[in-house]
Structure 1
Amino acid sequence: MDFEVRKVRKAQGPKKLRREREEYFRLMQLGYSNKEACQVVGINLRTGREWRNGRTSPNRTVAPALAARTPRSTSSRYLREDERIHIADRLREKATIRAIAAELDRSPSTISREICRNRTVGPRGQWHYRPHAAQARADARRPRPKPGKIGQNPQLRDFIQDQLPQKWSPEQICHALRRQFPDRPEMHVTHETVYQALYVQGRGQLRRELARALRTGRARRRPHRQSNKRQPRAVKDMVMISDRPAEAADRAVPGHWEGDLITGKDNRSAIGTLVERSTRYVMLVHLPLDHTAPRTRDALVETVKTLPAHLRRSLTWDQGSEMAAHKAFTLATDIPVYFCDPASPWQRGSNENTNGLLRQYFPKGTDLSVHTREHLDAVAAELNSRPRKTLGWETPAERLAKLLAA
């Protein structure tokens, strides 16, 4: 302990005991009793009681009282004082953490964290769990706002600000931080911390203009809403997704693709998207003139013929009229086409997710025919070089390279 009891024991007066008073209040916040705190600091028990209670004399205040507790939350999310008392009682009875958690209907990790965070450690390293001191400590930590971790660490802030303009998501940035700085916990944050720094006004942790670099481009959060269901469109001789081979469903075998179109202003222009289910590798189909069934068929044939034979096993599409020529596509490429059920975009989940990522490059309401083949290849290469959570933070290009090497 850094504090040392003063060696000169003569009367000091209230102003000379400032260090003792600060240490006394600190120990009281940690859950020490008045007697224990007075022994550590080296003061009389009566002096400690006067400091704690804020007793006044006719002419002056002897010492301010301890700060009043903040109002306790009644939310079931937080441990209540009666639960902390139960924890203390059971700990004295040598009960296990899992037994205590079962009795309180809480997670064992919740009880373990509570004991580690709010226990009182004595001067010799021994510890006790005091429920009322633990409750006071938890209440003191709860008030908001608090200084943000990003705002207090310039290196962390600069790293995030450098990655956001490269169209990395906050979750990708956070995992990149853990991989680049594995032994520096001050550089580890969650993606929610990044979103808070961007969306919460007045914190000044990240530049406000960086919110436009997010894939949504929004500076404020919006609640999730149910998307409008598209009307099914008839395509002759469709083979439904229920007839697709089982190996495509579990993503264990590469070569099964999902496809769709993203359309521009008034649905007059479009770009075709292909996503490999196993590696999430993206290929963009150039449709500069229109997206009729013949044009879409020819562009798809030209794109997939660049793939090796073992990566051309199946293609899953929605019931859009642009795939009316699916039979001709199958004859030209030997790739069977399977169609999703109406209003079931989750059956092509990888492709739907990729289309959302592509809207950062090709916003809705714009003319998509102005983009060249070279630009589409550059966008696909950038997407394929991003680390993906579902791939264990490998990139689609790395995963595909492994398959090609094998």
Structure 2
Amino acid sequence: MGREYSQLGLEERIEIARLSGEGASIRQIAAALDRAPSSIARELKRNRGQQVGYQPAHAEAQARARRWNGSRLDRDPALRTEVLGQLRAGWSPEQIAGRLRRDGPSRLSHESIYRFVYAQIRRHNDFTWRNYLPKAKSRRGWRPGKGGSPALHMRHRVPLAERPGAVLTRLDPGHWEADLMAFSRYGQNLLLLHDRMSRVLIGSPLPSKRAEPVAGALAAALQTLPPACRKTVTFDNGTEFARHYELGALGIATYFCDPHAPWQKGGIENAIGRMRRFLPRKTDLAALDSGALIGMMAAYNNTPRKCLGFKTPAEAFSEQVLHFGCESTSPPSRG
């Protein structure tokens, strides 16, 4: 029977480098490693660096590079076209991979998509490829977070500790988180509301950051919903929410995060981060028509989410929120 062959490993390459440096012959190295002399000769010839000679790490990298046939996205043009189209639409690599698993057999991991994009940047020195990614970063890594603002006292402020525990389960519709999405031009802000259960996002531009117009915009956004879909709203400690108590007229309870703890309303913080891809800070809201803003909201609400089993927020709203009695979004009749 023929002898079974296995690839040289890094430990064997380290030994080859040591013995070769001590002046051992190819046959002596082969005998020490129980390998064929031809394998050692081929290893020393193919994986030797021109400047540094034979180095184990370099030899290992060279061998791996020869065995690599390219990423799946390089080999499958149809899959590549589909993935790049979804990236352009604002989907993250993890959302794309999850939706592929949901729609059929898993064909791709999110790490493969990240590696493919970063490989194009390195291969072509073309940094426009980073715009395919949610954070548009040209290299992997974490960005340091910013510190929170000091807590401010306001009338009728109720701390988050007094919020009903059922809100944390995300199984009950009508519990919202609110925040402002700020832009570089003075006075331009977008009010965003995020439903904790379905992850549906609604929003509207603000004429001012003052408490009075913010309270009016909050009431206008929520009053069209039936009472079962507007139970609580959670804010941070910004002065723009100082007139939060006016929502009590709609039967809505309001709660505030602890000082320096924006993570306690992580849903809206995450939503703002995702919306930044469509609306970077330098965007001029005055030049943006309402149809374009509605389209961006629709794109967000129709993007699959891992936390929803790769359903979209719109699908989750239809399947879950409507199930809890929110069949209509028209205001209740008066009289």
| Deviation by residue 1:283-318 (Cα, 9 ceiling, x = unmatched) | 11231x212111111111111112122111100000
Tell me: CA distance 1:145–1:272, structure 2 relative to 1, closer, same or farther (3 Å): farther
Match of 1:286 among 205, 211, 214: 205
- TM alignment of 1:16-35, pairs within 5 A: 27-29=4-6
Q: Secondary structure of the equivalent of 1:286? A: strand
Alignment-derived partner of residue 86 in structure 2? 163
Q: Which moved more, 1:358-367 or 1:273-282?
A: 358-367
Q: Secondary structure of the equivalent of 1:291? A: coil
Tell me: CA distance 1:291–1:190, structure 2 relative to 1, closer, same or farther (3 Å): same
User: Deviation of residue 404 (structure 1)?
Assistant: 4.5
Tell me: CA distance 1:286–1:30, structure 2 relative to 1, closer, same or farther (3 Å): closer
Alignment-derived partner of residue 67 in structure 1? 43
Partners of 1:210 and 1:240 in 2: CA distance: 44
Q: Any gaps of 5 or more consecutive residues in structure 1?
A: 6-23, 32-48, 55-62, 74-137
User: Deviation of residue 198 (structure 1)?
Assistant: 1.4
| Deviation by residue 1:59-86 (Cα, 9 ceiling, x = unmatched) | xxxx98463699778xxxxxxxxxxxxx
**For residue 43 of structure 2, what is the amino acid of its counterpart?**
A
Partners of 2:63 and 2:101 in 1: CA distance: 26
Partners of 1:382 and 1:244 in 2: CA distance: 31
* Aligned residues of 1:164 and 1:214 also touching (Cα < 8 A): yes
Alignment-derived partner of residue 226 in structure 1? 145
Alignment-derived partner of residue 163 in structure 2? 244
Tell me: CA distance 1:400–1:306, structure 2 relative to 1, closer, same or farther (3 Å): same
Aligned: 1:307 with 2:225: yes
- Cα-Cα RMSD: 3.2
Alignment-derived partner of residue 380 in structure 1? 297
User: Deviation of residue 202 (structure 1)?
Assistant: 4.0
Q: Secondary structure of the equivalent of 1:390? A: helix
User: Deviation of residue 268 (structure 1)?
Assistant: 1.7
Partners of 2:262 and 2:56 in 1: CA distance: 45
Tell me: CA distance 1:230–1:370, structure 2 relative to 1, closer, same or farther (3 Å): farther
User: Deviation of residue 253 (structure 1)?
Assistant: 1.2
* Aligned residues of 2:235 and 2:256 also touching (Cα < 8 A): yes
Q: Which moved more, 1:317-326 or 1:360-369?
A: 360-369
Partners of 1:144 and 1:390 in 2: CA distance: 39
- TM alignment of 1:4-403, pairs within 5 A: 27-29=4-6, 52-54=36-38, 65=41, 67=43, 146=68, 147-182=70-105, 188-200=107-119, 201-203=121-123, 209-265=128-184, 267-287=186-206, 289-331=207-249, 333-403=250-320
Tell me: CA distance 1:151–1:291, structure 2 relative to 1, closer, same or farther (3 Å): same
User: Deviation of residue 395 (structure 1)?
Assistant: 0.8
Partners of 1:202 and 1:240 in 2: CA distance: 49
* Aligned residues of 1:286 and 1:373 also touching (Cα < 8 A): no
Partners of 2:147 and 2:259 in 1: CA distance: 12
User: Deviation of residue 269 (structure 1)?
Assistant: 1.0
Q: Any gaps of 5 or more consecutive residues in structure 2?
A: 9-30, 48-53, 324-335
The total of aligned residue pairs comes to 287
| Deviation by residue 1:67-117 (Cα, 9 ceiling, x = unmatched) | 3699778xxxxxxxxxxxxxxxxxxxxxxxxxxxxxxxxxxxxxxxxxxxx
**For residue 270 of structure 2, what is the amino acid of its counterpart?**
N
Q: Secondary structure of the equivalent of 2:36? A: helix
* Aligned residues of 1:164 and 1:210 also touching (Cα < 8 A): no
Partners of 1:277 and 1:166 in 2: CA distance: 24
Partners of 1:64 and 1:303 in 2: CA distance: 73
Partners of 1:334 and 1:249 in 2: CA distance: 20
Q: Which has the higher contact order (CA 8 A, sep 6+)?
A: 2
* Aligned residues of 1:275 and 1:282 also touching (Cα < 8 A): yes
Q: Secondary structure of the equivalent of 1:28? A: coil
TM superposition score normalised by structure 1: 0.63
Partners of 1:67 and 1:275 in 2: CA distance: 59
Tell me: CA distance 1:162–1:344, structure 2 relative to 1, closer, same or farther (3 Å): same
TM superposition score normalised by structure 2: 0.75
**For residue 150 of structure 1, what is the amino acid of its counterpart?**
L
**For residue 190 of structure 2, what is the amino acid of its counterpart?**
I
> Which one has a bigger Cα radius of gyration?
1
User: Deviation of residue 399 (structure 1)?
Assistant: 1.0
Partners of 1:247 and 1:72 in 2: CA distance: 58
